[in-house]
Amino acid sequence: MKVCILGDNLTSLALAKALVKKEIFVDLFCQKKINKIDSTRTIGISKSNVDYFNKNISNIKGMLWPIKKIKIFTENSNNKEILKFEDQKDNLFSILRNQKILDQLTIELKKNKFFSFKKNIKPNSLKGNLIINCDITNKITKKFFSKKFEKKYNSIAFTTIIDHKKLSFNNEAIQIFTNDGPIAFLPISKEKTSIVYSARIKEKKTEVEINKIINKFNPKYKIKKIYKISKFELKSINLREYYKDNILAFGDLLHKLHPLAGQGFNMSIRDIKELLKIIDYKLKLGLPIDQSICLEFQNNTKSKNFVFSEGINFIYEYFNSENKIGDNLIDSTARLIGRNKILNRYFKNIADIGLQN
């Protein structure tokens, strides 16, 4: 029994590691040597997904930085949070650097006898019971997976890391919805904080201008250094069809989100969990690993993923409408939600475990 995975990203490596732990042979095909991820890129992983990842994929406890509180502001809220989420007993989510988890997964996979890297993607070399495509650029994607729902935000995401004076407590994530787009301050240690700024495209912004924006909205940090800024275009994607024969689309190819809620990789982990549940059930019954898995996976996840993705779009548009319908209405409505314990708990659960059946 063999599974072929196409792509050289975090999702493909995490899925490969989950499969080889079940002693399923995996060939991972990439078009070139595994890419180095930008050192300023970080990801947030919810508590339930951290637990699943540690148990079923790889132990990443040592590289996580816990976030216990989230505060949300708007540019016009006079430094008073309009929403706050916190958990006195546990972490809301954790932050880690992309490159660290990528390196660990790569090392562990290279040592595993059920795994092998393949350097070139050729259709006639894909000999597996199931082919999982995590690569948005290859020929298979262009041929079979080009139909999608796409939303362009006309925005650019700028990411960096700041060094700052050591804090005794740096476990509070802060998101500010500025008039030009959201900026998030995401702690990764007592002395370092990751920044993601999603700016609407009006005119090109220089690195000097981004640094000024960081300093303008800096909530509390005594900044020593701002690292080189990276950028990428923002858009939301939901694939119309999840599979073709025994080829299953996966990861960012299936769904891509605005980074304001930090849910992109969390959705992929939930997809891995669902796919492994289907495979486990098939193996338990002695059934083959074949394209029937693709159909069942699509039936179980497609509608939930689409609704969840549209929910992130709604949040973006909700705060983006501040200049159109008035900041007082936006702020007061959000504060009303925040003060309602039931709604507050509901939104925390959605962010942690996603949509359930």
Token pair, residue 134, equals 């995590």
Q: Is the pLDDT of residue 16 over 70?
A: yes
- Residue 142 lies inside a defined structural domain of this protein: yes
By the 8 A CB rule, do 294 and 243 touch?
yes
Q: What pLDDT sits at residue 127?
A: 79
The answer for 7, left when phi > 0, alpha when psi is -120 to 50, beta otherwise, is: left
- Give the model confidence (pLDDT) of 73-102 as tens digits: 988 877 788 888 887 678 889 999 999 999
> If you ran DSSP here, which 8-state letter would residue 280 be given?
H
- Give the model confidence (pLDDT) of 41-56 as tens digits: 899 999 999 999 999 9
Give the count of domains, the chain.
1
Q: Following CA atoms 50, 47, 97, 311 in sequence, which dihedral angle do they give, to the nearest 10 degrees?
A: 120
Q: Is the pLDDT of residue 238 over 60?
A: yes
Q: What pLDDT sits at residue 357?
A: 46
How many CB atoms neighbour CB 207 within 10 A? Answer: 13
**Over pLDDT 70: what percentage of the chain?**
85
- Give the model confidence (pLDDT) of 152-176 as tens digits: 888 999 999 999 999 999 999 999 9
CATH, residue 263: 3.50.50.60
Report the predicted TM-score, pTM, of the whole model to 2 decimal places: 0.89
**Confidence at 33, pLDDT banded by 50, 70, 90:** low
Domain range for 140: 2-60+99-148+237-353
Q: Is the pLDDT of residue 264 over 90?
A: no
The residue with greater pLDDT, 180 or 242, is 242
- Residue 259 lies inside a defined structural domain of this protein: yes
- Residue 293 lies inside a defined structural domain of this protein: yes
- Give the model confidence (pLDDT) of 99-148 as tens digits: 999 999 999 999 999 999 887 666 566 777 899 999 998 889 999 999 99
- Residue 76 lies inside a defined structural domain of this protein: no
- Residue 184 lies inside a defined structural domain of this protein: no
CA-derived radius of gyration, the chain: 21
- Residue 131 lies inside a defined structural domain of this protein: yes
Token pair, residue 192, equals 């370092």
Q: What pLDDT sits at residue 91?
A: 87
How many CB atoms neighbour CB 54 within 10 A? Answer: 13
